[in-house]
Amino acid sequence: MVRSLFLHLVRHPDLFLEHASAYAELASIEVDEWGQRWKQRALLRLCALMLVVLGAGLGGVAGLVWAAVPLDQMPRPWLLWAIPLAFLVLAASLACWVRCTERPVAFAALRAQAALDLATLRLLEKES
């Protein structure tokens, strides 16, 4: 296989350069796509973390209000636990969604292309 590859390289150096530039372009596209997916996942996790902090902060404020104001004087005491709980449920659902989505696989197309090229080289070796 190495011998046939070397012979093709010597006979057609322009094809090798074209092939190498196509690999470089494919790698560049893969890096850009992987980076975009990673940034999106990081941003969603940051949003979930901010919702947890907001829910915990509102829960702390609700605890202080519950301790300071008698329940019979509150018009809607159920809001003391409902609002922080809503933020925490939203944070949990967002974190679960991020966790359940498919993780980006780096260089999947590049690996597939390399496998195709190796298969082609093996076929060329069998023919010669």
For 34, counting Cβ atoms within 10 Å of its Cβ (0-12 exposed, 13-18 middle, 19+ buried), the class is middle
Structure tokens at 6: 């070397």
pLDDT value for 123: 81
pLDDT value for 90: 98
pLDDT value for 1: 57
Q: How many residues does the chain have?
A: 128
Nearest to residue 53, comparing CAs of 97, 91, 80?
91
Residue 5 has pLDDT above 70, yes or no: no
pLDDT value for 11: 82
User: Would you list the domain boundaries of the chain?
Assistant: 27-127
